[in-house]
Amino acid sequence: MRKFSKTFKNAAVAKKLIKLKKSPSKDLAVKRLSSALNGKKVALAISGGIGATEAVKIAREIRRQGAEVRAFLSPEARKFITPLSVEWATLEKPVLQAGPKVEYLEVFDVVLVCPATLHTLCKSALALSQNVVDLVIANQLGSSGKVLMVPAMNEQLWNHPGLKEHLEKLQSWGVKLYPSATEEDRIKVPESKELVQWVIEELKVKK
């Protein structure tokens, strides 16, 4: 009797979770602002910088435009933002590590790397994959998919001559870089609405 009761309870919980995903509660739902990204699948690749704290706002703004969001968090990113908060923003468990199955490495309509740190930018240019963020970028580039990167670092790092070479290589592969302005001696992640509008405009351009 206890076993039956436990099975019934687990089934009820699973059913409730499925229902929640299909019809998010008011706390999880977003107000649809447009259909600009309707049907699009966006991979939000979050690397380890203070700009990672903007991921929740960015993910929800993308959803407001009609897209689905799948987040990828590097180990360093988890020092700035929790997987739980990202799951709340996207309605999907974020990918934290690569396993034996890589079914999550589909070709997305766009991979948005935000923040794109010095380390992540250089690794991408060198085709190095040390975590799931590197992996989703490499997979998208190898599939000739669209990759958008939002650099975020201090001005000294941004002016490193070695980085300039790597950025030129990435751009030659079709990677688009957000035209960030320097503020308080830093290249910062822009406001979520401004950033998502840029994503919308870039998706209109054929690769």
The Cα–Cα gap between 4 and 6 comes to 5
Tokens representing 118 are: 């010095």
- Structural contact between residues 110 and 202, judged by C-beta atoms closer than 8 angstroms: yes
Percentage of residues of the chain with pLDDT beyond 70: 83
Instruction: State the SS3 of 107-126.
Output: CCCEEEEEEECHHHHHHHHC
Domains of the chain as residue ranges with CATH: 33-204 (3.40.50.1950)
Question: What's the pLDDT score for residue 103?
Answer: 60
Does the pLDDT value for residue 21 go beyond 60? no
- Structural contact between residues 178 and 150, judged by C-beta atoms closer than 8 angstroms: yes
Convert the pLDDT of each residue in 41-87 to its tens digit. 999 999 999 999 999 999 999 999 999 999 999 999 999 999 999 99
Question: What's the pLDDT score for residue 18?
Answer: 52
Over residues 104-122, mean pLDDT: 93
| Confidence band of 135 (pLDDT split at 50, 70, 90) | very high
Is this structure's pTM higher than 0.95?
no
